[in-house]
Amino acid sequence: MRHFPIFCDLRARRVIVCGATETAVAKLRLILKTEARVTVFGDDPHEQIVRWAGEDQLTLIQRPLERGDALCAALVYGATEDPVEDARIAELGRACGALVNIVDNLEDSDFITPAIVDRDPVTVAIGTEGAAPVLARRIKAMNEENLSGDLGTLARIGQSFRHRAETLPMGRVRRAFWSRYYDDVGPRVLAEHGEVALVGALETLLDDAVNKSSEPGRVALIGAGPGDPELLTLKARRMLHEADVVIHDRLVAPSVLELARREAIVIEVGKTPNGESWKQDDINALMVEHASGGAHIARLKSGDPGMFGRLDEEMDALDAAGIAFEIIPGITSAMAAAASIKVSLTRRGRNKSVQFITGHDVKGFAEHDWRSLTIPGATAAFYMGVRAARFVQGRMLMHGADPDTPVTAVENASRPDQKIVSTTLEALPDTLKSAGITGPAILFIGLSPREAMDAAETLSAQTNLQEAL
Ligand code: SAH
For residue 51, give the CATH number of its domain.
3.40.50.720
Listed residue (274, 276, 226, 232) closest to 253, CA to CA? 226
**pLDDT tens digits, residue range 166-205?**
988 877 788 889 999 998 899 999 999 999 999 999 999 9
Give the confidence band of 6 by pLDDT, cuts at 50, 70, 90. very high
Cβ atoms of 383 and 410 within 8 Å: the answer is no
State in Å: Cα 332 to ligand 1 middle: 7
**Is 157 part of any domain?**
yes
Q: Which atom of ligand 1 is nearest to the CA of 383?
A: 15
Question: Which amino acid appears at position 123 of this protein?
Answer: T
Mean model confidence pLDDT for the chain:
92
Span from the CA of 226 to the centroid of ligand 1 (angstroms): 7
Residue 253 CA: nearest ligand 1 atom is 22
82: annotated active-site residue: no
Ligand 1 pocket check for 384: Cβ under 6 Å: yes
207 and 310 assigned to the same domain: no
408 and 394 share one domain:
yes
Segment 240-268, tens digit of pLDDT? 998 989 999 999 999 999 999 877 899 99
The catalytically annotated residue of 271, 279, 342, 369 is 271
* 3-state SS, residue 101: strand
Q: Report the phi/psi class of residue 60: left, alpha or beta, with left for phi > 0 and alpha for psi in -120 to 50.
A: beta
> Is 304 a residue whose pLDDT tops 70?
yes
Cα separations in angstroms, 220 against 95, 169, 271: 57, 21, 20
Query: 177 is in which domain, residue-wise?
Result: 151-211
Residue 24 lies inside a defined structural domain of this protein: yes
Q: Is the CB of 243 under 6 A from ligand 1?
A: no
Q: Are residues 307 and 410 in the same domain?
A: no
Tell me the pLDDT tens digit for each residue of 384-429. Answer: 999 999 999 999 999 999 999 999 999 999 999 999 999 999 999 9
CATH of the domain at 282: 3.40.1010.10
Do 292 and 381 share a structural domain?
no
Q: Is the CB of 410 under 6 A from ligand 1?
A: yes
284 alpha carbon – ligand 1 mean position (Å):
21
Question: Are 53 and 164 in the same domain?
Answer: no
* Residue 102, H or E segment: strand 99-102
Query: Interior CA angle at 235 toward 231 and 238, to 5°?
Result: 100
Q: How far apart are CA 178 and CA 176, in angstroms?
A: 5
Test site for ligand 1: of 383, 407, 419, 420, most ligand atoms within 8 A of the Cβ:
383
pTM of the predicted structure, to 2 decimals: 0.64
Q: How close is the Cα of 242 to the center of ligand 1, in Å? A: 25
381 within ligand 1 shell (Cβ under 6 A): no
Q: pLDDT at position 363, please? A: 80
CB 55 within 8 A of CB 71: no
Domain ends where: 277, 311, 331?
331
Q: Are residues 270 and 162 in the same domain?
A: no
Per the CB < 8 A criterion, the answer to whether 388 and 273 are in contact is: no
Tally of structural domains, the chain: 4
